[in-house]
Chains A and B, each alone.
Chain A
Amino acid sequence: MAIPSYATRGERLWHYAFLGLCALIFLFLIGPLLVIIPLSFNAEPYFTFSEAMLRFDPAGYSLRWYQDFFTSSAWLGAIKNSFIIGIASTILATVLGTIAALGLSSRHMPARGAIMALLISPMIVPLIISAAAMFFFFSKINLAQTYPGVILAHTALGIPFVVITVTATLSSFDTTLIRAAHSLGANPTRTFFKVVLPLVTPGVVSGALFAFITSFDEVVVVLFIAGPEQRTMPIQMWSGIREQISPTILAVATLLVVLSMLLLTTLELLRRRGERLRGLSPG
């Protein structure tokens, strides 16, 4: 957004004020995430910067909260649960969602709008309502406080993300490529593996990542329908924040910020790959 050469002095001033304002808003967005990273290396059990930390005294910093995290059986058990539930529900949501997306992107899909609205609804209905409803229903059919119960619930929550990303990928898929492959002598199987799959995979993988992070992050539903056996990482954090605040939580938070950075990078790479394969991007 360069300033045009005909801009008056007032406009220039306004332009810089605007940039300053945007910088402040970006600070508001990202600042909090940056603050907790150094705080998690605090040698003292406080949530704020100690004097030693401000003087950059090495004694003010320590890895004790990370050590705490990696040696605590409660936290490690919670991570294990989070991965079990996250991976199982991601696989279910991705398989069901991708198959459905294939149908939804057909030109002849009946009642497309209504069905799409239904499939997306778990994303729109507030989590506390889904949680309450699932709690009532799952207790009736003996699924509450079991792994299958939590996995089914998380699958339902992850499905909208898979459906949205995969249908978006499929809508930009050029079906003439299939005919081209046929005309060049490829049989349907070969066409599917050599043409369709490479173009669709980035969309499916990013849908799966969305579903995984949804499950990995989810507190409310687990809070209601999981028993003590299925304690996940967010639940462990939740009770940590409510009961005894210790900087171990900040260490976990930092690790999670790093994890989301990795995820974001992966998604961006997938998006670029998808665009390159479709010839949409110059780079």
Chain B
Amino acid sequence: MSESPSALLTTADGVPLKVSLRRAVRRSKVKAFLLVSPLLLFLVVAFVMPIFDMLWRSVDNPEVSTHLPRTVAALERWDGESLPDEPVFAALVEDLREGQAARNLGLLSSRLNYEKSGMRSTISRTARRMGSVEPPYRESLIAINDTWGELDTWKLIRREASPYTPSYYLAAVDRQLTPDGEIAKVPDHLEIHVSLFWRTFWMSAVITGLTLLLGYPVAFLLATLPLRHSNLLMILVLLPFWTSLLVRTTTWIAILQSQGVLNDMMVAIGVIADEARWQMIHNKTGTIIAMTHILLPFMILPLYSVMKTIPPSYMRAARSLGGKPFLSFRRVYFPLTIPGIAAGGILVFILSIGYYITPALVGGQSGRFITNYIAYHMQTSLNWGLAAAIASILLFVVVVFYLVFNRLIGVDKVKLG
């Protein structure tokens, strides 16, 4: 009596149905996972590992401990109150001799130079005199360069002996460690990154706002027109979407530059004088116009797909219940489109803060984004640790917005075209 009927159910070969079902589910789970695994493996090698490598590089600090191993060991017994004793200086001489012979002091001197300017020349000048230096080393080194007589220099070397450093992240937000290990602002004339982060964020917000302002009416029109007409107009949205980013940036250069199409037109019809041509490119205006144009389809498409699902009868019902057009729009239609606004807004914002090409080509000095500084530190100043730290901060911001987006809309709902 107490036996439930399901316990009796078995498959043809006598296995209980539950066990058999569990087996089948497990088998299809394994099968599904095996199908995904080649791609997963590929992405881990080609994408995930590089990203983790970058994150690691932003705190990695091997220079001092590899190139000055003896000095670091000798400094362990140092009290930090007065200049180190002779053995430390002797260890430094030995390390520098070895480095000079192997010609690999470049990384070390640039690493220390990030923390204390002048260290590059101090080290190279000292290393060059290593052949002729005589004990007592303490006096001879201070005679070569009095930086060696400063307490701060030794505190710096001891601090940077640690295999990890926060200083790239600090530099990315315009901060540095003082010799005593406190966090302080960098001098005013060196402040650059924080203001660039803010500029990137507010310009992206402006661009997002503009795309919403321009995209909303177009999406509304496309969603309410009969399919035959809206398909035709959709081409006008999709064509720029499909056109190369560089092509679109080039066209804006052709249009906006001071000898360009728009200025020529304005001069020809007499709106502005020939001498007073508008400066619309290589500044913030250029970046905002070009990026609004480039990102507009990314706003229109999610808005359109949401508006398409709103039955037109809702607005008619609101009107028939006595709502004035504006009121019915605000109270009925608009709230229904908020998911589309959120989707489009987050998408455009994420894409915008990571843009590099367009700001670099039309942004000039004042329209640059933080991404341009990542490229600058990678290619020109060659401070890769700092580039990695800035990129990691930006990545963190993007990932936060991506998770919000994923929670709100779901990545698998993303439609392309």
- CB within 8 Å for A108 and B32 given contacts A119-B43, A263-B242: yes
Top-7 shortest CB links A-B: A126-B354, A103-B35, A137-B50, A106-B32, A100-B39, A133-B50, A133-B54
A132 touches B240 (CB 8 A): no
Minimum CB distance partner of B237 in chain A: A29
Tell me if B244 counts as interface (CB < 8 A to partner A).
Answer: yes
- CB within 8 Å for A103 and B31 given contacts A18-B217, A32-B293: yes
B53 touches A156 (CB 8 A): no
A33 touches B259 (CB 8 A): no
- Distance, CA A155 to CA B38, complexed state (A): 13
B325 touches A11 (CB 8 A): yes
Indicate which residue in B25, B49, B218 contacts A22 across the interface (CB closer than 8 Å): B218
B-side interface mostly: helix
A132 shortest CB reach to chain B, Å = 5
B250 touches A155 (CB 8 A): no
- Measuring CB to CB, which residues of chain B are less than 8 angstroms from any residue of chain A? 25, 28-29, 31-36, 38-40, 42-43, 46-51, 53-54, 57, 214, 217-218, 221, 224-225, 233, 235-240, 242-255, 257, 259-261, 264, 293, 296-297, 325, 350, 353-357, 361, 371, 374-375, 378, 384, 387-388, 391, 394-395, 398, 402, 406, 411-412, 414-417
- CB within 8 Å for A156 and B25 given contacts A48-B264, A220-B357: no
Contacts A100-B40, A134-B47, A134-B50 given; 7 further ones with Cβ under 8 A? A26-B233, A33-B243, A39-B254, A99-B35, A129-B395, A136-B50, A241-B250
Interface residues on A, range: 35 or more
- CB within 8 Å for A241 and B374 given contacts A28-B293, A36-B254, A133-B54: no
Indicate which residue in A49, A125, A165, A241 contacts B246 across the interface (CB closer than 8 Å): A241
Which segment of A55-63, A66-74, A178-186, A252-260 sits at the interface?
Answer: A252-260
Tell me if A109 counts as interface (CB < 8 A to partner B).
Answer: yes
Tell me if A197 counts as interface (CB < 8 A to partner B).
Answer: no
A132 touches B388 (CB 8 A): yes
- Distance, CA A19 to CA B217, complexed state (A): 9
A-side interface mostly: helix
A118 touches B40 (CB 8 A): yes
Which of A25, A39, A237 neighbours the largest number of chain B CB atoms within 10 Å of its CB? Answer: A25
Q: How many A-B residue pairs have CB under 8 A?
A: 257
- CB within 8 Å for A46 and B250 given contacts A106-B31, A128-B371: no
B391 touches A129 (CB 8 A): yes
Interface pairs (14), CB distance under 8 Å: A29-B218, A30-B239, A30-B240, A48-B254, A96-B39, A97-B39, A108-B32, A117-B402, A119-B43, A127-B356, A134-B46, A152-B46, A168-B415, A253-B250
A47 shortest CB reach to chain B, Å = 5
Tell me if A264 counts as interface (CB < 8 A to partner B).
Answer: yes
- Distance, CA A14 to CA B325, complexed state (A): 10
B33 shortest CB reach to chain A, Å = 6
A271 shortest CB reach to chain B, Å = 8
- Distance, CA A94 to CA B249, complexed state (A): 29
